[in-house]
Structure 1
C-alpha cells in the first residue's frame, strides 16, 4: 500500500472571486456555507491523519493531511483566519492559494506561522496581459511585482518555515512570455506551471503541445522545484472539496461529487471518489 508523507486536500470554500480570469474552473453553482460548517468539516479531515484511506480505486496511508484553502478567492471569507487557526490546532498543516490582492500584512503577521504553504496565482506581471486574462478586480486593480515581493519578504521574516509557491496557468496570453527574471528575484520554493484546461471560459482557447513544451524549456533554469502539469497530469490526481463539503472530481465540464462530509464522514465520502495517488505523489 502506498504511504504518502503528506496528502493535500484542496477545499474550494467558495466560487466567488474579486477577479474574473476567463479560464477559472471554479464553476460549482453553489453558495458557500463555509462560515457555518467549517469546524465540523475540519475535525472530520483531522481524523484522516496517519490512517488508511480507501478510495473508489485503491487505498493509501497519509502520514499527514494538509488542508489547502482555495476558491474562488479564499480571502473573501471572513472566517478564513479562524479556520486556519483551528486547522493548525487539529494538526492539518493549513495552506492557501490566493491571488494575493486581499492579503494584508496584519494577516501574515498573525497567521503566517501557522501556514505550511502560501500559494499565489501569478500568470503575468504585465498589466495588459493581466487585463486580457481577467486577473484584476472590478476597479482594474492588480497585484504587481512590488506587492508580491513585499508579501514574500514579510512571510520570510515572520514565518521562515512557510513554503512559498507560485502557480502559473500557461495560457494563450502568456505562452510566449519569459518569467525567469521576476521569479528568480522572488525565489519561490515551488513553481507550478499548469497548462490551461480548455473548458468553461477557456473553451477553444487551449495551447498546443509544442507551445507548452517551449514555455517549459524557456524556464528550465528556474530556482526551486519546478512542477509542470499538463491536462492529463491533473486528471484524478487532486483531492478536492466543493463549497458544500463534498469531495469532487471534474468530468469534462461537469463534476462528480461524493456525499457531504457532515452527512457521512470524511472517510466514507472518500470511498466514492477516484484518486490517482501515484500521480499525486510524483509531484512531491
Structure 2
C-alpha cells in the first residue's frame, strides 16, 4: 500500500445552509450560527495557525507522525454551505494558503458564479459539488431546494465548472453523491458525463442523527454496480469506511467524530482547539490511520480527496 502524500483536514465552517436535506449530518449541538468561529476574524486567524502548526509535515510531536507520512496538508472547507459566507471565504482561503495549506472546497453549487470563481478558482486544488439526484421531485423530497423553491440548475452548474477549469486548468472537480431511499434506483450516468468530474465519491447515507431514508446493503451495492462504467473515478464509501477515518473540525473549532453507538446523539467532540491547543484536543478523539490511508492512498490516476 502506498502512503498518502496529503493529509486532509475537513473544517465544517458553518452549519448554515440554504438547503434542508433530510439526512444531512452537518448539524451540531451548538446551533447558534452567530457563535461560529468564522465570524470572529482574530479567532479564525489563530485557529488556522494552530491547525497548521500541529499538522505541518515537519511536526515530529504530532502522534500521527509515527503511523503515517504526509508531505502536505490540505484544508477542505465544508458546511453546511460554505458559500453562504462569500464575504469571508476568500480571506480564509488566502490566510490558509499563506500558512502553507493547500485548500479545497465542498459546495452544493447553488452560489457558484463567474464572479466568485474568478476570486477562488486559481487558489483551489479541488472543488467538490454535492449532487444526489437529477430528478426534481426527488430533490424536493430530499430537501435540495431553497426557501424560494429553487432547485440547482445543472446546465448553469456545468457552465460554471467549465469557467472554473478555464481559470485554473490544474483544478480538479469532485462530485459527491449520497445514496438514500429517494435516489438508490436512479441512473446518474448522464449527470456524471455532463459534469465530467475527476472523481466521483459515492457515499452511503450515514445514520448519525436518525435512520430516515437509510438504504440496505443490497440497495447500496446495486447503485454501485449500476455505475461500474465509471470505475476509474468512482470511490464508494460505506458507513464502515467513514467511521473514525476523517479528520474533522466543527464550526466551533472542535475535533469531532461520528458516534454511531447512540442513536440521536450524533457526535463525540473534543474541547475547543483554541482553548486547549490542537495536540490536547486531538488526543481526546479516536482516529484510525489505517482507514484514513485506505481512503487517501492513490487508487487510480488521482489521489482520493
Query: Which stretch has the larger CA shift, 46-55 or 182-191?
Result: 46-55
Alignment equivalent of 2:243, drawn from 235, 238, 252: 235
- The equivalent residue for 1:283 is 295
The Cα of 1:224 is off from its aligned counterpart by: 4.7
C-alpha distance after superposition, 1:85-140 (max 9, x if no partner): 11111121111111011122111111211111101110012211100100010111
Structure 2 vs 1, CA of residues 267 and 26 (structure 1 numbering), >3 Å: closer, same or farther? same
Equivalent-residue separation in structure 1 for 2:94 and 2:197 (angstroms): 24
Structure 1 residue 3: deviation in Å?
Answer: 5.4
Deviations 1:26-45 (A, max 9, x none): 12132312121221111112
Query: Matched residues in 1 for 2:22 and 2:243: separation?
Result: 20
Q: How does 1:109-148 map to 2 (within 5 A)?
A: 109-148=118-157
Q: Deviations over 1:44-72 (max 9, x none)?
A: 122222134326xx743432111111111
CA contact (8 A) 2:3 2:293 kept: no
Q: Does 1:197 find its partner at 2:201? A: no
Confirm whether residue 103 of structure 1 aligns to residue 112 of structure 2: yes
Q: Per-residue deviation at 1:163? A: 1.1
Are the aligned partners of 1:23 and 1:196 in contact in 2 as well (CA < 8 Å)? yes
Higher strand proportion: 1
The unaligned stretches of length 5 or more in structure 1 are none
* C-alpha distance in structure 2 between counterparts of 1:117 and 1:70, whole Å: 12
After TM superposition, list the pairs within 5 Å mapping 1:1-40 onto structure 2. Answer: 4-30=4-30, 31=32, 32-36=36-40, 37-40=43-46
| SS state at 1:283 partner | helix
- DSSP 3-state at the match of 1:279: helix
Using the alignment, how far apart are the partners of 2:146 and 2:104 within structure 1? 23
Query: Is the contact between residue 255 and residue 282 of structure 2 (CA under 8 Å) also seen in structure 1?
Result: yes
Contact 1:125/1:144 (CA < 8 Å) preserved in 2?
no
Q: Hey, what does 1:216 align to over in structure 2?
A: 224
Q: TM-score, normalised by structure 1?
A: 0.93
The SS at the match of 1:7 is strand
Structure 1 residue 223: deviation in Å? 6.7
Partner-residue secondary structure (3-state), 1:207: coil
Asked if the contact 1:164–1:189 (Cα under 8 Å) also holds between the matched residues in 2, the reply is: yes
Match of 2:191 in 1: 182
Change in CA separation of 1:140 and 1:224 when aligned onto 2, cut-off 3 Å: farther
Residue number in structure 1 paired with 2:75: 67
Do 2:121 and 2:168's aligned partners in 1 also have CA atoms closer than 8 Å?
Answer: yes
Relative to structure 1, the CA distance from residue 148 to residue 224 in structure 2 (aligned partners, 3 Å threshold; closer, same or farther) is farther
Aligned-partner Cα distance in 2 for 1:86–1:156: 23
- Asked if 1:265 is matched to 2:269, the reply is no
